[in-house]
Structure 1
Amino acid sequence: MMTFDDVTARRPDQFVPSFKPECGQGWAQIVGRLLDEASDGFRIQAVSQKMGALRIEADRADEDMRPLMLAEFRSRVTCEECGKAGHMRTLDGWKRCRCDDHSTDEERAQPPRPAWTIGRLTSEGFAWYDPTADAIEIVSLAHLEQIGMPADQIERLKSAS
């Protein structure tokens, strides 16, 4: 398994000198991929977990948020502890992404969340993560049912936009 030490050793110029990850080693591979895909001038200040997903604070040479969004969405299907496939689980009000091996019995009993939950409303439409294609797809509000989003959720998004 790739660790944050591996990632920082491979690309030391893309991390602030005081960098210390505040999340599990399972997400190091996601950060490594982000750096492979990011533009020149991309420098990571901090990496943490918030509401069960990867959060990255970075200086960027451009304002394209898609690489950061893709890293966050990947973390929602990757165990924070080991990097294997996982899903979002909730325990005592805390959200985290874990595989079955790193989950409690109570968490293992929770079914995976529907794929349509991995996304966010943007100015372009609904940015949805397709884990099969490992890509973000922009879905118009008129076509959200195609990704399995229930009608009540679609109405909430439409009223929020």
Structure 2
Amino acid sequence: MRKELIDELRQRHPRLLGPTGEPATQPSILCGDGWFNLLDCLCGAVQAGADAKGNEDVRVEEIKSKYGSLRFEAYGLSPAEDAQVALAEALSERTCEECGAPGSERGRDGWVSTLCSNNSAHS
């Protein structure tokens, strides 16, 4: 994901993703730009759930793409927040990681990625 999009996510969700400029407290975000909206919605839902329950223990460790789907590794989540993560991870399997269009899992350069039918434009 481009740095400016990562910075925007960090600004919108500082408690989960750490404020911009403090790398020691920030989880890594290693995925394509196409999942920005998915991550923004997920972080908003997790944060709202944690805030509603007064849960200060929620901590995001890492966000990445693995085997063509989103992996959102976090600790201290409630069952409802775990369900939100599972939904986002399932949606990522149908969302192009590069542009956000509908997509499917495809092999690329020895890796599995979720890409749209216009995947040649994402090479």
Q: What fraction of aligned residue pairs are identical, expressed as a percent?
A: 30
Give the corresponding residue for 2:27. Answer: 19
In the alignment, the residues of structure 1 paired with residue 77 and residue 112 of structure 2 have an alpha-carbon distance, to the nearest angstrom, of: 32
Uncovered stretches (5+) of structure 1, i.e. residues with no partner: 106-161
**Contact 1:26-1:81 at 8 Å conserved across structures:** yes
Give the corresponding residue for 1:81. Answer: 98
Cα deviation, residue 36, structure 1: 2.1
Q: CA RMSD in A?
A: 2.2
In the alignment, the residues of structure 2 paired with residue 37 and residue 22 of structure 1 have an alpha-carbon distance, to the nearest angstrom, of: 20
Matches within 5 A, 1:1-161: 3-16=5-18, 17-38=25-46, 39-40=49-50, 41=55, 42-64=58-80, 65-91=82-108, 93-101=110-118, 103-104=119-120
Q: Name which structure has the greater RCO, CA cutoff 8 Å, separation 6+.
A: 2
In the alignment, the residues of structure 1 paired with residue 113 and residue 92 of structure 2 have an alpha-carbon distance, to the nearest angstrom, of: 10
Q: Secondary structure at the match of 1:78?
A: coil
Q: Secondary structure at the match of 1:57?
A: strand
Cα deviation, residue 68, structure 1: 1.0
Cα deviation, residue 92, structure 1: 5.5
Uncovered stretches (5+) of structure 2, i.e. residues with no partner: 19-24
Larger Rg: 1
Q: Secondary structure at the match of 2:79?
A: coil
